[in-house]
Homo-oligomer: A and B are copies of this chain.
Amino acid sequence: MTITQLYYVLAIAEHKNFTKAAEKCFVTQPTLSTQVQKLEDELDVQIFDRSKKPIELTDVGRKIVQQAKNIVDESDRIQDIVDQQKGFIGGEFKIGIIPTIMPTLLPMFLKSFIKKYPKVKLKIEELTTEEIIARIADGHLDAAIAATPLEHDNIKERVLYYEPFVGYIPNDHRLKDKKKIDVSDLDINDMLLLEDGHCFRDGVINLCKAFKTHEDDQFQLESGSIETLVKLSNEGLGMTLLPYLNTLDLNEKMSSQLHHFNEPSPAREVSIIYHKNELKMQIIDALHDVISGIIRGAIAFQNVEIISPRAK
């Protein structure tokens, strides 16, 4: 049994297809066929059920794949140990960021990160929390930045900062004259929300403690970007909530529509999250240090109340 064989098994299990898995492994399809057969012979058990299309795992196969993941993870960690010893921070690092954090946070830290750690090749993807969780679990993502707490067994979290929500209230809105707003002022039915799948949407819904009914709505547009929310709000279609960092680069006219919350201000917790196996911890540490260092200059709120990003 070799680690390479286990890699092959994992690739096949993932793609349910020898040919595609072979491409991913940068070898030809017969290589996978023969190596997997060798492993199956050695263990004297079928890992894959080739009679099904697409190919399926057998019962033992599923357990073997699980264990193979452990072994491959543990063996990856040897390089990790060496890197740590050498103080080497580098290599490819795949990070996911949720859409409502990406445009504000990424420009703040990316430049100084790549300057400080030039050997790290960051691959950044915009993903929803759901997608992030799945990809961290299966190892396709090394880490992610998302709203927490997620309370997911296989994922660890390290808080980066707490980001308060700020009300964005158009001139014709019932709350326009309140200098500071309160959570109890909010009514989910005159607020603009992001489309489904955004945890920021879920956070706001949790905050309002009521579900949007859709019944007496004249329109049902739900945007995918916070920028659109602001523009819709300007058209008088309702108020909205913005994460604090989104309020920093508004023009003068727009910032005048901002209404902060009375303390404790509702806020989201933003963390760097990663698999519990703690692979590539040096890079995660590096990211954490850079980001929280930069944020410390931009956000200075103490008295906040964390709103859960999870639906329901």
Question: Chain A: residues with CB nearer than 8 A to chain B?
Answer: 1-4, 43-45, 59-60, 63-64, 67-68, 70-71, 74-75, 77-79, 81-82, 85-86
B2 touching A43, Cβ below 8 Å: no
Q: Given A3-B3, A67-B74, A75-B71, are A60 and B43 also a contact pair (CB < 8 Å)?
A: no
**B-side contacts of A43, CB under 8 Å:** 78-79, 82
6 more A-B residue pairs beyond the given contacts A43-B78, A44-B82, A70-B74, with a C-beta to C-beta distance below 8 A: A1-B78, A60-B81, A60-B85, A64-B82, A67-B77, A68-B78
**B-side contacts of A71, CB under 8 Å:** 71, 74-75, 78
Report, nearest first, the 5 A-B pairs whose CB atoms are least far apart: A60-B85, A71-B74, A43-B82, A63-B81, A45-B82
A86 touching B45, Cβ below 8 Å: yes
Q: Given A60-B85, A63-B81, are A75 and B44 also a contact pair (CB < 8 Å)?
A: no
**B-side contacts of A77, CB under 8 Å:** 67
Residue of B45, B63, B67, B75 near A1 (CB, 8 A) is B75
Residue of B2, B45, B70, B79 near A85 (CB, 8 A) is B45
**B-side contacts of A67, CB under 8 Å:** 74, 77-78, 81
- A168 CB to closest chain B CB, in angstroms? 51
A64 touching B45, Cβ below 8 Å: no
**B-side contacts of A74, CB under 8 Å:** 67, 70-71, 74
Give the residue among A68, A79, A85 with the most B Cβ atoms within 10 A.
A85
B70 touching A82, Cβ below 8 Å: no
Residue of B2, B59, B70, B81 near A3 (CB, 8 A) is B2
- A78 CB to closest chain B CB, in angstroms? 5
A1 touching B1, Cβ below 8 Å: no
**B-side contacts of A70, CB under 8 Å:** 74
Bound state CA distance, A44 and B63, in angstroms? 34
- A280 CB to closest chain B CB, in angstroms? 15
Q: Which residue of B lies closest to A85 (CB)?
A: B60
**B-side contacts of A59, CB under 8 Å:** 85
**B-side contacts of A79, CB under 8 Å:** 43
Q: Which residue of B lies closest to A45 (CB)?
A: B82
Pull 11 A–B residue pairs with CB atoms less than 8 Å apart, ordered by A.
A2-B2, A43-B78, A43-B82, A44-B82, A45-B85, A45-B86, A59-B85, A60-B85, A64-B78, A71-B74, A71-B75
Residue of B68, B75, B82 near A60 (CB, 8 A) is B82
Bound state CA distance, A74 and B73, in angstroms? 11
**B-side contacts of A4, CB under 8 Å:** 2
